[in-house]
Structure formats: C-alpha cells, structure tokens
Amino acid sequence: MLAFFPALYPDEMLYSACARYHRRSGNLSIKATMKDLFGSTNASAVVDLPNRLNCLRRQLPVGTLTTVDRLIKENTLLPLYSPFLPRHRVDKLIAWMKGSTHGGGIHMAMGVMASGVPSPRYLRFCPECLAADESRYGEPYWHRSHQAAGALLCHRHEVWLCESDVPTAAPQNKHAFVAAPVPNGKYLPQPYERYFLHCREITRSVAWLLSHPETESPGFFFLRKKYLHHLRQMDLASYSGRVAQRELLERFIAHYGDCFLAQIHCRINIDSQDNWLNSIVRKPRKASHPLRHILLIHFLGTGLEEFFCTSIPESRPFGRGPWPCLNPAVSHYRQALVRRCVITRNCETGEPVGHFYCSCGFNYARTGPDRERSDKFRRGKSLKSVRRGRRN
C-alpha cells in the first residue's frame, strides 16, 4: 500500500497524477512506479482510457475517499465517449478499465480505432492554465479537456493549445508517466484561426461532456430519433424518417467548410454512400467518434445540453410550414405560402389529416404523414368547411 498519492486537481488526467507521484516518490525506475501503483511491472501508462484501476485503488493510502467509479468519471476520457454508446457497451468498458485484462481492447471496443479520427500524438497544454496552476497549486498538470481529439482551444481561456514533446503513445517506453512541462512548447498549427468559432463550439462541447459524466448513454436508436427530429425541423427528413442525404451532405459541408473538416479528420466524400455522416443518420450499425456527433449536433442548431436534456417534442406529420398552395389557377401555384394548417385524425385509421388554408381562398386536405419530400405537393380533396381540430 502506498504511503501517499497526490490529490487530484480539477480537470486532471489520472495519468498526470501518476506522473506527479513518480516525480515525488524518488523512484529511479519507471517500472518501480508501475509496481507501486498497479502492482505489476507489466502495466502501461495510458493517457486517455487506462485499465487496472481496481489494482490502483487497492494501493491507495488508507482513508482515501476516491473510488474507482469517480476516477473514471472525473479523471479519464470515458465521459466523452459514453453518451454516444449503448449502455451495455459502456458497462463492459467500465469493467475492463477496472480490471487488469482487456486493456488493449478498450479502444477497439469503443470504435475509436476504426473511426478515422486519430487521438492527439502529443500531450497538449494551455500556457495560461500552466501559469495559473503553478500560481495556485505550485505545479502544473495535464488537463483532461486539452487531450480530446478535436479540442484545439482551452475552453477556459479560449487560447490555442500548445503541443508538448511528450507522446501520448510511446511503444519504446510505454511504462513512463511524464509530468507536465514548464510553460513552453509550440502552438498548434494556425490554419484553424479562420475557424475559431467552430473550434470554440467543439471545445465547449467537449468540456460539457467531461463535466457531466452522469449524462446517460441513450443508445444508437435514441440518438437517431433525436437526429431525425432536428433534421425534420430543417426540412432534411420526412415524417417517416427518410433523410435527404445529398442535400444534408451539401449543407453540412457548406456550414463547416471542406478544408476545416479535412483538418480535423472529418472530411466527407459527398459521392460516397458510405461516408460517416450518412452512417450516423441511417439506422445505426456502429459507433461513431464523439467529435463527429458534436459536429452534427451543432449543425442541427442545438447544443449538447439541450440535445441530451430535453425531450423530443411532438412530431409534425406534415413538416414545418409554410406549405405549398396547390391551386393551379393562381400564379403562386406550388409556392410555400400556406401558413395555416389544422390537423385532425381519421377516426377509422388514426392517421393524421391536414387541412390547409391559403390566403387566396383555396383550401385542401390530405392524409398524412408525409413519407417523401414530394408528398407536400400531393393534394387530396378541396374543402368547403373545416371540422374542428388542433393547429400544427
């Protein structure tokens, strides 16, 4: 059992606390530190998703209040991934992080390896955070929110992160914990400057996920249901769930810019039916990287907190107005000028019936829901009077 272990600082990686232990312990051998912390010289120094955490907890000094679950939630990157995974997979990953086996399979089971979004090659830091940490705590440390793929800014100071010379994966020395550096290093490449607002959105979203580890893992089907709701609001999906894939891709690329998407490893081949954006909004078959979910959520005009913490409102079977006037005798035929729609239900089938009223005096009704985008131009019977119903 250890005689001491450093208290963890706010937003600190567990890796960082282990590095501070190594520096304070006076161990000359990095394997001696591994033996102290994890009871084995074969353990590896993993930055983002470590395992053997039950072993570490047993080594901590008597009276330590930290639990393994708390370490996972507050000092690893798992909360960044878990909201976008099925609950059963999250439970399995937590069990693997606690245990001493399956360490090498954690990233693969999470889908990180196949996502095409690489983890940062080197540990990163904010120079202002380092100076503030040294002033407040007497030493710098590695911040968790600075190590996430796609997070290029410090969410507190909104300055570009610097890249240290400490690799996140060092096969030749995989047992070494390296403490945070003095405030120097090279800033990340600055072609991102023109995309500052996008980078700030991503950084804030990463920070929100990490600071809300209790966010539930809703599963793939819930995520898709949420995405379809917002896509319908943008007229990019029908009531039945059919997505206008080509238009979605074009508008998404126009929103972020092809250059920015390429720089953060999220480029989309618009001519391929197997690109990552199509995969997310189709019936889900595999996990996608959190960065890509964050990009989609912001494109849909919402934030992480609203997306996860608000329920889906009642769907609109005829989409959002205005709707087209289908009076062939007027010059505005098929133009979206109808602003009033009263919805009733067919008492026999239960299907929604929309009653549409144009200011030109032409009224019509049709049965829904719309399953194709072209359904909005389908006309049912003309109306002379309207039964009472609820307004859309």
Tens digit of pLDDT for each residue in 241-268?
Answer: 788 899 999 999 999 999 999 999 999 9
Q: Which of 270, 276, 271 is nearest to 292 (CA)?
A: 276
pTM (predicted TM-score) = 0.81
Q: In 3-state terms, what secondary structure has residue 189?
A: coil
Quote the crossing angle between the two packed helices 290-299 and 196-211, to the nearest 10°. 120
pLDDT band at 361, cuts 50/70/90? very high
Report the Cα 312 to chain-centroid distance in Å.
Answer: 18
pLDDT band at 391, cuts 50/70/90? very low
**Rounded Cα gap, residues 199 and 79, in angstroms:** 20
Asked which of 27-31, 73-77, 235-239, 312-316 is least confident by mean pLDDT, the reply is 312-316
Tens digit of pLDDT for each residue in 82-110?
Answer: 999 988 999 999 999 999 887 778 888 88
pLDDT, averaged across the chain: 87
Q: Does pLDDT of 181 surpass 80?
A: no
Q: Does pLDDT of 378 surpass 50?
A: yes
- Cα angle 188, 194, 198 (rounded to 5 degrees) comes to 85
pLDDT band at 392, cuts 50/70/90? very low
Q: Does pLDDT of 382 surpass 70?
A: no
Q: Does pLDDT of 182 surpass 90?
A: no
pLDDT band at 170, cuts 50/70/90? low
Structure confidence at residue 115 (pLDDT): 76
Rounded average pLDDT over 379-391: 51
Per-residue b or e along 36-48, where b marks 16 or more CB atoms closer than 10 Å to that residue's CB: bbbbeeebbbbbb
pLDDT band at 186, cuts 50/70/90? low
Neighbours of 310 (CB within 10 A): 10
Structure confidence at residue 173 (pLDDT): 65
Tens digit of pLDDT for each residue in 132-145?
Answer: 999 999 999 999 99
Q: Which of 50, 148, 52 is nearest to 107 (CA)?
A: 50
Convert 218-273 into a string of H (helix), E (strand) and C (coil): CCHHHHHHHHHHHHHHCCCECCCCCECHHHHHHHHHHHHCHHHHHHCCCCCCCCCC
Rounded average pLDDT over 10-24: 95
**Rounded Cα gap, residues 76 and 97, in angstroms:** 10
Residue given tokens 């078959």 in the structure block: 285
Q: Tell me, what amino acid is at 265?
A: H
**Rounded Cα gap, residues 180 and 28, in angstroms:** 18
Q: Does pLDDT of 43 surpass 60?
A: yes
Tell me which of 373 and 139 has the higher pLDDT.
Answer: 139
